[in-house]
Amino acid sequence: MAKSYEAKIKEQGQPFLEAGERVLAAFIGQPRGATTAKMGGLAPQAIGGAKIGKEKGAGEAAGLQVANPMALALTESRLLVFGISAPIAMGKGGDVKDLVSAVPLTDVDSIEVKRLLVGKTITITVRGVRIKLEAGAGANAKGLAEEFARAKATA
């Protein structure tokens, strides 16, 4: 049986965590515009590429570098971005390769999830800077946002 991406990220991300830290929730995503950039034709590629560049720049300004593709993971104390291999389907691919970036939860202002056609948009606000991501319909982005709300409430 195929392993869920969230379970895979929790397991494979363990070597990159600090002592006593554990991944509470995770999903595979990408900077906003990545899906558009993969469509055929020059216009979609240009539009999507511009959006990706904008979100990567926002991430750098906030101190949370984003990758394409990436896994966003939440621990009790940090929000993490893992670099991953390309996800294929049914839990295949999407292997954690490295820790790209991390910020303390105290620096994360909010995580908002909205539905978008067959996927989701995720807006993360870090140190007042908004970073937009997108994820597929099966991604547990809402679970990560709920865990974030719980962690902030108990901090």
Range of the domain at 147: 5-154
Is the separation of the CB atoms in 145 and 120 below 8 Å? no
Each residue of 26-73: pLDDT tens digit?
999 999 988 888 887 888 889 888 888 888 899 999 999 999 999 999
- Domains held by the chain: number: 1
Backbone angles phi, psi at 15, to 5 degrees: -65, -15
| Position 2 pLDDT exceeds 60 | no
Is the separation of the CB atoms in 70 and 134 below 8 Å? no
Query: What's the pLDDT band for 152 if we cut at 50, 70, 90?
Result: confident
Each residue of 126-137: pLDDT tens digit?
999 999 999 988
Could you tell me the CATH number of the domain that includes residue 14? 2.30.29.30
